[in-house]
Amino acid sequence: MKIVVTGGCGFIGSNFVHYLLKNTKHEIINLDTLTYAGNPDNLKDIEKNDRYRFVHGRIEDKKLVSDQFKDVDYLVNFAAESHVDRSILDPMPFITTNIEGTATLLEACRNSSIKKIVHISTDEVYGELGESGKFVESLPLLPNSPYSASKASADLIIRAYHETYGLPVTTARPSNNYGYYQYPEKFIPLSITNLLEDKQIPVYGEGKNVRDWIFVGDCCEGIATILDRGKAGEVYNLGGESEKRNIDIVRIILKLLGKDESYIKFVKDRPGHDYRYALDNTKIRDGLGWAPKVNLEAGLAKTVDWYKNNHSWWRPLKERLARENKGFWS
Ligand SMILES: NC(=O)c1ccc[n+]([C@@H]2O[C@H](COP(=O)([O-])OP(=O)(O)OC[C@H]3O[C@@H](n4cnc5c(N)ncnc54)[C@H](O)[C@@H]3O)[C@@H](O)[C@H]2O)c1
C-alpha cells in the first residue's frame, strides 16, 4: 500500500516511519515542512530506502497536498505545531497548521480515492480532570490552551467530514508520549538533557500536575492498529496506563542519572495549566486488542540511555533553544 505520513520528521512521526518500514511493506511518502521541530536527522538511517520518499512542503498547501493524493491508499496525519508553551506565546501558527492544514488534507482526500485516514489528536482536547476519573471518547471537548483548542477544532472538522461526506477517517487521541527523537523543549527530554549538561530541571508550580505517559513505540503500535482495524468515524484513546505527577517523573530521572534533588528548580506555573489527564483505554483494548506494553520505569531507562548515547542529535537543538531564549520555564 502507498501511505502519506505528514510530520514524519517530528518526534512521533519519525518513530512511526521507522515502525512502518520495519513492520509493513508500505511505500511511504513523508510530507513535512521542517519547522524547528522537524529534523531530517531523525530519518537519516532510512533516507535511501527505496520504500521511502520525502516531500518538503506544508499541509496547508492545497496544490502540493492534492498532487500527493493521486494514487495513495492511506494517510496518517501527525503534522502539527505541538508545544503548549509556544501556543501561549503565539497561537496563530497553531491555528494555521493544526486547523487549516488538517482541513486542507481532508479536502484533498475528499477528491481522491483514499481508503483510510488516521488523524493524530491528543488527550488534551478533553480539558482537565480533578483527582479522579478518566477521559472516555464520548466526553465533550473542553480544551484550555490555544494548542488543545486548535487540536479540538480539527477533531470537530474531521467528525463533520466523516458525517457529511463519508470520509473514511479515524481519530487517535494519545496521551503524553516520551522516547527517542523527542525535541528537548518537552518535559522529559528537557529534564534528561539538562542533567546531562549538569543543569537544573525546571518544574512548573509544585510539580503536582499529573500526566498519563506512553512510550512512543507503544503509541506507534496503537496507531498502526487503528490504521489496520479501526472503524471509520470512530475515536480511540491511546493511553499509556502510567499516571504520574511531574515531580515523580523528575525523581525517577534524577535517580537514573545519579543526581540529587538540588537539581530541581521550581518555576512559575504555566497559565491555564491543566491539572490532570488520564485516558480510559477500554475501547481500543476490547475493540481492537491493543494495549501498551512498556512500563514507565523501563521506558524511562531506555529513553535516558538513548539521550546519553545521542549527544550529537540533541546538543545542536539545545544550543538553538538557548539562542531563541523563548522564556519558557523562567
Ligand atoms: N508528543 C506528544 O506527547 C503528543 C501527545 C498526543 C498527541 N500528539 C500529537 O501527535 C502529533 C505529533 O506530535 P510530535 O510530538 O511528534 O510533534 P513534533 O512537534 O515533534 O513534530 C511535528 C512535525 O510536523 C511538522 N510540521 C509542522 N507544521 C507543519 C506543516 N504546516 N506542514 C507540514 N509539516 C508540518 C514539523 O516539521 C515536525 O516534523 C501532533 O499532531 C501532536 O498534536 C503528540
Of 147, 178, 181, 236, catalytic: 147
Kindly report the protein residue whose alpha carbon is nearest to atom 18 of ligand 1: 10
Q: Is 124 a catalytic residue?
A: yes
Q: pLDDT (tens digit, 9 = 90+) per residue, 92-133?
A: 999 999 999 999 999 999 999 999 999 999 999 999 999 999
Q: pLDDT (tens digit, 9 = 90+) per residue, 232-260?
A: 999 999 999 999 999 999 999 999 999 99
Q: pLDDT (tens digit, 9 = 90+) per residue, 140-161?
A: 999 999 999 999 999 999 999 9
Atom of ligand 1 nearest to the CA of 14: 16
Kindly report the protein residue whose alpha carbon is nearest to atom 11 of ligand 1: 78
Kindly report the protein residue whose alpha carbon is nearest to atom 12 of ligand 1: 78
Ligand 1 mean position, distance from CA 32 (Å): 10
Instruction: Tell me the best of 82, 188, 219 to mutate to test the pocket of ligand 1, counting ligand atoms within 8 Å of each CB and taking the most.
Output: 82
The x, y and z cell numbers of residue 41, run together, are 536527522
pLDDT at residue 69 is higher than 60: yes
Ligand 1 mean position, distance from CA 44 (Å): 18
Kindly report the protein residue whose alpha carbon is nearest to atom 5 of ligand 1: 176
Of 32, 124, 241, 243, catalytic: 124
Contacts of 326 (CB under 8 A, 6+ apart): 85, 86, 89, 185
Contact 121, 172 (CB under 8 A): yes
Q: Which amino acid is at 323?
A: R
pLDDT of the residue at 326: 72
pLDDT of the residue at 327: 62
pLDDT of the residue at 325: 78
Ligand 1 mean position, distance from CA 138 (Å): 24
Ligand 1 mean position, distance from CA 12 (Å): 7
Of 60, 81, 123, 241, catalytic: 123
Ligand 1 mean position, distance from CA 78 (Å): 5
Distance CA 93, CA 202 (A): 26
- 87, burial (CB in 10 Å: exposed 0-12, middle 13-18, buried 19+): buried
Q: pLDDT (tens digit, 9 = 90+) per residue, 161-220?
A: 999 999 999 999 999 999 999 999 999 999 999 999 999 999 999 999 999 999 999 999
Q: Which amino acid is at 106?
A: L
Atom of ligand 1 nearest to the CA of 181: 20
φ, ψ for residue 177, nearest 5 deg: -90, 150
Contacts of 138 (CB under 8 A, 6+ apart): none
- In sequence order, the β-bridge partners of residue 176 are 213
For residue 307, give Cα distances in angstroms to 9, 181, 303, 313.
18, 9, 6, 8
More confident residue, 207 or 326: 207
Pocket of ligand 1 (CB under 6 A): 6-7, 9-13, 32-35, 37-38, 58-60, 78-82, 97, 101, 120, 122, 151, 174, 176-177, 183
pLDDT at residue 330 is higher than 80: no
Kindly report the protein residue whose alpha carbon is nearest to atom 1 of ligand 1: 177
For residue 268, give the DSSP letter: P
Q: What is the helix (H) or strand (E) element at residue 120, kind and residue range?
A: strand 116-120
Instruction: Tell me the best of 35, 61, 185 to mutate to test the pocket of ligand 1, counting ligand atoms within 8 Å of each CB and taking the most.
Output: 35
Q: Which domains does the chain have, with CATH numbers?
A: 2-178+214-238 (3.40.50.720), 187-211+242-276+295-324 (3.90.25.10)
Cut 0.85: pTM above it: yes
φ, ψ for residue 35, nearest 5 deg: -70, -175
